[in-house]
């Protein structure tokens, strides 16, 4: 019977998949609550379990055995006796299979194979008071720079948590305000961080990771954002409404000087609704919807970025980044299931996202560009992923599938209309494995293979082409 259950679960997964920025758990929280990382994470960080979602909804304020400094007078004080910090490091070897044309240290690319320190960050977070928490990241590689900050205010209301979260982030979008699920609604909690775009539809829209996002022919770059989230969370689900603005990482990002011109205004909207019914057939289950609307002015030159000539909307002209106004329009539906099969933990996720096209003749000055899709075709992606703990709490196997339309025209595509437009396909299959040397030290191997119009002979002739496969060997450490 157990073998039959395993076979059925595996068959269901295979039938379903027929067709960044780094972001991880913060060991500082383990120090604060006096619990191992596995108390909040399913299989391994950064995927959250039910307790981890509740901890986040409570604004990171829970304290375990750690000593506190408290007063009883008003307005009062209740903080941990020590400031909880953590260092997070990723050391990786990355190899892609495009042309190895580089001959010097400054011209060689990952096509030649590269050792990289993809992240070295200082995290801090935890309790500020009874109802106020804090989380912040400072990137240390290449010089210290503020990457993100948020300060959740959380209160008990009608059996749940009502919260407000002011936040800023250099690339994690408006979801950085509040998002506890691990199904691709945000890159922060995805089980594979080396090719997020292979397993998360939103991550494909925003160009997170993967060979398909660094060929010079796709929308690239995460979404910098400032804003404030208003959420309500209980055992049956949560709702989140966020007012936000795109904010540039080019001089006016997190930490910009007060009163600095050009930081934009919070005229974009983000709405998130999720249902968490709990146990469904032995699996912790959740489904959700996220909807982006409105527009933001910004000084950013990173969105939509500069794209290779000949590959932008079939016009043959590059799009030059410049200050302007961006539409912020996209929709996603997503879901997750987490539970044991024959004693092995299994995570299943799925997501579908779409972003409407930018206006014909769009410029940054006239506000015609969609920050999630600078092209004339609808950009969309269906993704599914799974992770099986073959040695529980020690080793996992991972699988991801993407079936996507890039939204742009690529010469030589089979789906060209009148020779000047089209919607190039961009598919991926990812397999991976992880091995935890300790709860806070993990080795990861990821291999991704890409296919579709984005990798045809015309695309491969472009300068900077990164090939149709990517291999990453990564060592993650947090302490």
| CA separation for the pair 395, 451 (Å, rounded) | 29
Full-model pTM? 0.86
Greater confidence, 109 or 165?
165
Candidate from 39-43, 263-267, 418-422 with smallest mean pLDDT: 418-422
Question: In sequence order, what are the residues at sequence separation of 6 or more whose Cβ sits closer than 8 angstroms to the Cβ of residue 255?
Answer: 145, 146, 168
What is the token pair recorded at 81? 């006796």
pLDDT at position 310 over 90? no
Residue 465, pLDDT score: 79
Residue 217, pLDDT score: 36
For the chain, give the mean pLDDT: 80
User: Can you give the length of the chain in residues?
Assistant: 479
Residue 314, pLDDT score: 42
DSSP-assigned beta bridge partners for residue 228: 166, 243
Q: Are 197 and 221 in contact (CB under 8 A)?
A: no
Helix (H) or strand (E) holding 239: strand 237-246
Q: Given the structure tokens 């006016």, which residue do they identify?
A: 252
pLDDT at position 57 over 80? yes
C-alpha distances in Å from residue 364, one per residue of 160, 162, 297: 42, 37, 9
Nearest to 444 by CA among 209, 221, 224, 213: 209
| CA separation for the pair 362, 370 (Å, rounded) | 9
Query: Nearest 10 degrees: CA dihedral of 454, 456, 460, 461?
Result: -120
Go through 233-261 and write b for each residue having 16 or more CB atoms within 10 A of its CB, e for each that does not.
bbeebbebbbbbbbbbbeebbbebeeeee
Candidate from 125-134, 151-160, 205-214, 470-479 with smallest mean pLDDT: 205-214
pLDDT at position 50 over 50? yes
DSSP conformation letters of 130-172: TTEEEEEEEE-TTS-EEEEEE--EEEEETTEEEEEEEEEESSB
Residue 144, pLDDT score: 65
Residue 387, pLDDT score: 98
Residue 133, pLDDT score: 95
For residue 72, count CB atoms less than 10 angstroms from its CB and return exposed for 0-12, middle for 13-18, buried for 19 or more.
Answer: exposed
pLDDT at position 8 over 60? no
| CA separation for the pair 227, 396 (Å, rounded) | 36
Q: Are 406 and 429 in contact (CB under 8 A)?
A: no
Question: In sequence order, what are the residues at sequence separation of 6 or more whose Cβ sits closer than 8 angstroms to the Cβ of residue 187?
Answer: 20, 21, 23, 172, 193, 196, 200, 202, 203, 208, 222
Residue 370, pLDDT score: 84
Q: Which domains does the chain have, with CATH numbers?
A: 2-478 (2.40.160.10)
Residue 103, pLDDT score: 75
Neighbours of 204 (CB within 10 A): 32
pLDDT in tens, 334-356: 999 999 999 999 999 999 999 99
Largest Cα–Cα separation, the chain: 75
Greater confidence, 129 or 7?
129
Question: In sequence order, what are the residues at sequence separation of 6 or more whose Cβ sits closer than 8 angstroms to the Cβ of residue 457?
Answer: 412
Q: Are 310 and 316 in contact (CB under 8 A)?
A: yes
DSSP reduced 3-state for 411: coil
Candidate from 91-100, 145-154, 389-398, 416-425 with smallest mean pLDDT: 416-425
Residue 326, pLDDT score: 78
Greater confidence, 251 or 117?
117
For the chain, give the percent of residues with pLDDT over 70. Answer: 77
Q: Are 450 and 426 in contact (CB under 8 A)?
A: yes
What is the token pair recorded at 178? 């509040």
* Model confidence band, residue 207 (pLDDT cutoffs 50, 70, 90): confident
pLDDT at position 92 over 80? yes
Residue 140, pLDDT score: 83
Residue 294, pLDDT score: 93
pLDDT at position 18 over 70? no
Greater confidence, 216 or 241?
241
**Highest mean pLDDT: which range of 7-21, 296-310, 371-385, 452-466:** 371-385
What is the token pair recorded at 39? 């108390």
| Mean predicted confidence (pLDDT) in 154-171 | 94
Greater confidence, 371 or 274?
274
Nearest to 178 by CA among 160, 159, 196, 201: 160
Nearest to 123 by CA among 97, 93, 84, 153: 84
């Amino acid at each position: 019977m157990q073998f039959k259950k395993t076979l059925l679960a595996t068959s269901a997964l295979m039938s379903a998949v027929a067709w960044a920025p780094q972001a991880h758990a913060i060991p500082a929280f383990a120090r604060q609550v006096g619990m191992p990382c596995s108390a909040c994470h399913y299989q391994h960080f950064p995927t959250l379990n039910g307790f981890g979602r509740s901890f986040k909804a409570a604004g990171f304020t829970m304290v375990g055995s750690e000593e506190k400094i408290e007063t009883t007078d008003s307005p009062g004080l209740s903080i941990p006796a020590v400031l909880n910090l953590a260092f997070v490091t990723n050391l990786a070897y990355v190899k892609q299979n495009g042309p190895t044309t580089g001959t010097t240290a400054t011209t060689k690319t990952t096509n030649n194979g590269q050792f990289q320190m993809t992240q070295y960050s200082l995290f801090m977070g935890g309790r500020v008071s009874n109802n106020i928490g804090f989380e912040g990241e400072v990137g240390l590689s290449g010089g210290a720079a503020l990457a993100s900050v948020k300060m959740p205010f959380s209160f008990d209301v009608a059996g749940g948590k009502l919260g407000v979260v002011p936040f800023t982030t250099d690339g994690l979008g408006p979801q950085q305000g509040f998002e506890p699920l691990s199904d691709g609604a945000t890159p922060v909690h995805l089980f594979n961080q080396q090719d997020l775009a292979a397993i998360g539809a939103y991550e494909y829209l925003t160009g997170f990771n993967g060979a398909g996002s660094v060929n010079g022919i796709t929308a690239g770059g995460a979404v910098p954002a400032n804003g404030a989230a208003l959420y309500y969370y209980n055992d049956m689900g949560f709702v989140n409404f966020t007012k936000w603005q795109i904010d540039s990482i080019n001089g006016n990002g997190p930490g910009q000087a007060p009163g600095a011109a050009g930081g934009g205004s919070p005229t974009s909207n983000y709405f998130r609704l999720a249902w968490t019914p709990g146990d469904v057939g032995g699996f912790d289950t959740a489904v959700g919807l996220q909807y982006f609307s409105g527009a933001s002015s910004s000084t950013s030159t990173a969105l939509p970025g500069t794209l290779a000539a000949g590959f932008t909307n079939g016009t043959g002209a590059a799009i030059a980044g410049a200050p302007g106004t961006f539409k912020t329009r996209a929709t996603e539906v997503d879901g997750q299931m987490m539970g044991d099969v024959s004693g092995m933990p299994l995570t299943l996720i799925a997501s579908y996202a779409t972003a409407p096209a930018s206006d014909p003749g769009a410029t940054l000055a006239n506000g015609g560009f969609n920050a999630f899709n600078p092209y004339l075709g609808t950009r969309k992606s269906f993704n599914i992923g799974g992770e099986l703990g073959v040695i529980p709490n020690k080793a996992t196997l991972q699988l991801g599938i993407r079936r996507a339309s890039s939204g742009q025209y690529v010469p030589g595509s089979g789906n060209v209309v009148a020779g000047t437009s089209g919607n190039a396909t961009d598919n991926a299959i990812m397999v991976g494995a992880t091995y935890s040397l300790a709860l806070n030290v993990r080795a990861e191997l990821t291999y991704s293979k890409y296919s579709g119009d984005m990798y045809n002979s015309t695309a491969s002739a472009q300068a900077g082409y990164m090939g149709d496969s990517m291999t990453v060997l990564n060592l993650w450490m947090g302490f």
